[in-house]
Amino acid sequence: HEDGTLQKPVFLHVKTQKGKGYLPAQNASDKLHAVAPKFNIPKPTPPPGAPTEPKVVKPPLTKVFAESLVREAEVDDKIVAITAAMPGGTGISIFEKRFGPQRTFDVGIAEQHAVTFAAGLAAGGLKPFCAIYSTFLQRGYDQLVHDVALQKLPV
């Protein structure tokens, strides 16, 4: 990987813990799952006279992913994006605004189909990016193994 490229499929599984660091979310199994929840975590008040550090605003990972995908797709018309009913949460909505429905597919709550559809597109020569939250990808894990990984498809 010295040249910064990969010549094989890569599966990235990020394990998360719901509500980590925010007790109300940790204690609520049915609430506070959103990427941008509508609540504020109180910040401790610094002691008087304490130096203030400039606030560094980092863009959300969803936006970084989406904008990076858009940049790549602007130079490669074989790139398409797939989501399973979560275009906003995955950033695919940003891709769709730029490229429209010709290159963006929302299959609804059908993660299994999203993965197999991506495999079919890859087998046909396209470069599908299938963005699914890990929690929901569990529904499509068999398809990930059988339809993508074993076939060595670039999804």
Share of the chain residues as helix, strand and coil, in percent rounded to the nearest 5: 40, 10, 50
C-alpha 138/C-alpha 112 separation (Å) is 9
**Backbone Cα Rg of the chain:** 19
Phi and psi angles of residue 81, each rounded to the nearest 5 degrees, phi first: -125, 140
Which amino acid does the sequence have at 41?
A: I
The catalytic residue among 18, 31, 63, 71 is 18
Q: Is 139 a catalytic residue?
A: yes
111 has catalytic annotation: yes
Which of 15, 127, 139, 152 is labelled catalytic? Answer: 139
Q: Annotated catalytic sites, by residue? A: 18, 111, 139
